[in-house]
Amino acid sequence: MKPRKVTKAVFPVAGLGTRFLPATKSIPKEIMTLVDRPLIQYAIDEARAAGIKEFIFVTSRGKSALEDYFDHAPELESELRRKNKTDLLEVLKDTNMDSGAIAYVRQNRPLGLGHAVWCARRLIGDEPFAVLLPDDVIAAEKPCLQQMVEAYDRTGGCMVAAMEVPPPKASAYGVLDIAEDHGNIVRARGMVEKPKAEDAPSNLAVIGRYILSPKVLTNLNRLKQGAGGEIQLTDAIAEEAEPDGEGVYGFRFRGLRYDCGSKAGFLQATVAFGLSRPDLRDEFGTYLHEMMAQQKAAQ
Ligand code: G1P
């Protein structure tokens, strides 16, 4: 039997974004822009391409700019209409959400990613759902979540995006314990959150895209503390890798992932996305070449 269609997605956006202070003192980090689109827009576009119809944001205090971003802006729109700026009106369309398609729920205490997802449990109900961490931006010909939905159609259970990382870096991620490796899909016998380098079961790391069974919400109900004293999503998923669970699969996606939760990753993404834009490629590319040449000459 084919698994149920995935139409709901959770976006955990409650974090304080302290790594980007002072910028994030007054703007949510998800509103920081890669070229001219906020991080959150990339995640929403990816979810839409995968067939998601309902968008659930887990927010916290100080995140109201996110709600405004996905709302109509009547004054701005009528001004653009008056000036006949149809191209800009078109650009704004991506930020429009059908009434009722977007919901906000608050995580009132920062107890971890598992807790954030658990906060959305009533809105998710008893169906499979996706989770997208907007810090992880993935450049891909076919959007990552869409690739996963197609693979999930064959596996069901729980699926996490996965990527090989250099072994010393594995301890910054959730890491898969591989039972069977079938190339782009692996079946996991376990999953560990931020293991010590010597305890990592592999170097196949979990990246912030998930398709999860509602069983994960039941597992989260126990609100057990894990790594770093937080309620970890990884632990709740790992329970489904047990022999009586629904199965956990890692999916090696095709694409390039940028860690926009770190300054270096954000800068790399800015360069990559800038160079991929036809309207900026030439000018920006030439500038980068000149910069590199100057740097070399100065060494
Ligand atoms: C979270 C997850 C971790 C995953 C990572 C991917 O960690 O807990 O399992 O590997 O996202 O970006 P965070 O980076 O929020 O600490």
Domain ranges of the chain: 8-261, 262-299
Q: Which of 201, 228, 232 is nearest to 216 (CA)?
A: 232
264, burial (CB in 10 Å: exposed 0-12, middle 13-18, buried 19+): exposed
CB of 176 shorter than 6 A to ligand 1: no
Of all atoms in ligand 1, which is nearest to the CA of residue 113?
8
From ligand 1's centre to the CA of 26, what distance in Å?
24
CB of 258 shorter than 6 A to ligand 1: no
From ligand 1's centre to the CA of 162, what distance in Å?
11
- Indicate which residue's Cα is closest to atom 7 of ligand 1: 173
Contact 256, 140 (CB under 8 A): yes
CATH number listed for the domain at residues 8-261: 3.90.550.10
d(CA 175, CA 234): 9
Q: Which of 92, 103, 100 is nearest to 41 (CA)?
A: 92
Pull the structure tokens for residue 171.
Answer: 């301890």
CB of 174 shorter than 6 A to ligand 1: yes
Q: What is the pTM of this model?
A: 0.94
pLDDT tens string 268-297: 999 999 999 999 999 999 999 999 999 888
From ligand 1's centre to the CA of 253, what distance in Å?
16
pLDDT tens string 94-153: 888 888 899 999 999 999 999 999 999 999 999 999 999 999 999 999 999 999 999 999
Of all atoms in ligand 1, which is nearest to the CA of residue 205?
10
- Residue with the two structure tokens 């920062």: 110
From ligand 1's centre to the CA of 276, what distance in Å?
27
pLDDT tens string 12-39: 999 888 899 998 888 999 999 999 999 9
